[in-house]
Structure 1
Amino acid sequence: WDYHVTEALRTTLEEGIAMVTDTVAFLKNEGKRVFFDAEHFFDGFRHNPDYALSVVEAATTAGAERVILCDTNGGGLPSSISATVAATRQAVPAAVLGIHTHNDSGCAVANTLAAVDAGVVQVQGCINGYGERTGNADLCAVLPDLVLKRGIEAIPKERLTRLTTTSHLIADLVNITLDAHHPYVGLSAFAHKAGLHTSALARRSDAYEHINPAEVGNTTRMVISEMAGRASVLGKARERGLDVDDETASAILTTVKDLEARGYQIEAADGTFELLVRKARGWSQPFFELESFRVFTERRVGGDVIAEATIKVYVQGERVVATAEGEGPVNALDRALRQALVGAYPDVEHLRLTDYRVRVLDPAAGTAAVTRVLLEMSDGREAWGTIGVHENIIEASWEAVADGVVVGLLRLT
């Protein structure tokens, strides 16, 4: 962008081109592969196309293996990105082009695909679209779009089946909860709710899913709510390998509707639903039996606030008492429960509480309002949601935490 050369670098346009030439030539002479990122290229092309093209020409002539055209400010739209890439290819046919987009206009993925259509051979992006400001092009969408929709082998198709696992692992590493509605890899990317919809899905999945979820390592997910029919219940139960007859499915559906009338949101809590199905089949969880718990918060000298929880449970017939401190009462209660269980179930240490949300259901009741606690727990391989509802937020949290741990132990043992 000539504006950046004169105002940010504070040099002449001729010196800007000379710096590109000298830098690329030096690196080539040192035996390096050189990919030249043309920062702010699309803004520069709009402002002064001749100068922008001369920079691409200089980098190419000096030996750059790739010239990456960057929409650094993220304001481009697919039509302008496509036209600019096409014009650049025509003006500098020797240049081998790539694309680097940002999502400030909400078009990073669309702009990337438009650039590919216009002739770029390299794509830059980030898993889950992470990046400065509003993020970079999301490789979790770009890759399946290219491989599955366009037939371009950006990566071997069989490796695409690791996409969902990779996405969730990286979200876990950077400690950013992945949006359940994230395309291709989100928990709800292939979720289905309405009764007739899910009934038809059981017969012809391609009628309601744009790809086979397994191609990106995801799965079809039946969401259960008051709108569900028996087919939804049966399909959701099969996801966990649980056989349910029609009579039991009808009973489960009645229970779901009763719970949702009390404020539960079963569609967002697949772990809670799994336990509900198991209980309807006569199962009771064998891992622990609660006797009591106590939680208090203490403000200490200096302003430090510490929460402490003591829990008394029976584990494999033995009475266990455990006490733990935490950042808050729920964190303390979660830690105390794990401490009580770790002797009998060491794998409980692999469980992580990855999301915790609270909603007041009847705000007019003030501090006496019923609260709904929805949390997500993970064992590092998959995640599940559980829910609790009560006038006492600690009790609602306990219900969600305890059910989350039970589901985790079912997965791990």
Structure 2
Amino acid sequence: MAAGLVISAPASGVGKTTLTLALARAWRNHGLKVQCFKSGPDYIDPAFHAAATGRASVNVDSWAMDRATIDHLVARGTDADIVLAEGSMGLFDGVATRGVSGTGASADIAEMLGWPVVLVIDPSGQAQTAAAIAAGLRDYRAGVRLAGVVLNRVASPRHEDLVRRALNDAGIAVFGALPRHAEISLPKRHLGLVQAEEQAEIGKLIDEAARFVAEHVDLDAVLGSAASWSPQPSANALNVTPPGQRIALARDAAFSFVYPHMLEAWRAAGAEISTFSPLADEVPDANADVCWLPGGYPELHAGKIAANARFRSGLRAFVETRTVHGECGGYMVMGNALTDADGVRHEMTGLLGLETSFAKRRMHLGYRLATLAAPMPGHQAGARLRGHEFHYSTILAQPDTPLAVVHDATGAVIAETGSQRGRATGTFFHLIAEDR
């Protein structure tokens, strides 16, 4: 029987990912089987989890997924000794309007699965107030149980003592305190951490984090605070129809944002996936019946994509007889042009009329509920798709037929409708699940 914990914090940027990776690797080094999950729609962290544990990690999301889907996904942790779910943002942060089984908050997953929460607290600029914050989080929602806290970025032994005493007075366990240690910081980019596959030294970084955390955190106490857990039986597989039988998937540093559970669901349904690299000027597999361009960082590689004539002409030839779909960055590459942060306009593939610009950055972030006005690969017109949008591009032109009516989590209609032209479709949101 596995034991489960949620790693969360009062806010983003406090050190959840670093602590999750360090605990996972430290326990793995001690011979334990560790299974990680990511609560929420972050598509970068699962690859770091896999690097730390040697086991694939997937997202669980209470806004986009029903309980049966979540149960199905977490069942992969049945044979693990310890299951760690890394939260997103602050513990109770979600959207204002409830989705399928919650608001997307990490607390939803903690309550739903009965996993206690380990809080990462950064007491920089604070002392006793850090205990007040932890106590407030402990008492905010009755169904969420606090196991204890790990202090991060502690300034000095005196600082640690002040905070520990206050937490002890509040009846909150302190599992450890991490002094400031910049060497274990993970590189960041404008959409989050630099991807795991881009970092040649990721194994060494995780090992260093594990060593550091093991020196300053009581690993046995953290492990002992986890709740014994057996997954709820779920006969339902994911409600996902593959976009095709043979899928050509773009995969490289510019095209990598795809949820692991989606790829697993496609394969489980019998689909075959072949990968190709637009950055290496490769073309989709000639035997594929659909091409899928995930999101990523096309804005960082726009000049190279524009110069790769073989890829661009190959994609245009592919769409003459078979379907092509793009998500976010992939959608932008399917358009006419992309203007980079320096104001340089790069010609893209022209499958759609979309033009986007990063010269004037504007953040687009949030859950999306789309009702398809036209079919897209794997989904019929009228389907209700749940996803998440996160990018900094501005639409200069979106002249094609709208693919969907898209609402944000409050129910407001948004302008990022996606596009459809012939066999080409694209969306700004990354698909998480279809409503059953």
Length-normalised TM-score, structure 2 = 0.24
| Higher Cα Rg, which structure | 1
| Higher relative contact order (Cα pairs below 8 Å, separated by 6+ residues) | 2
Length-normalised TM-score, structure 1 = 0.24
Greater share of strand residues, 1 or 2?
A: 2
Greater share of helix residues, 1 or 2?
A: 1
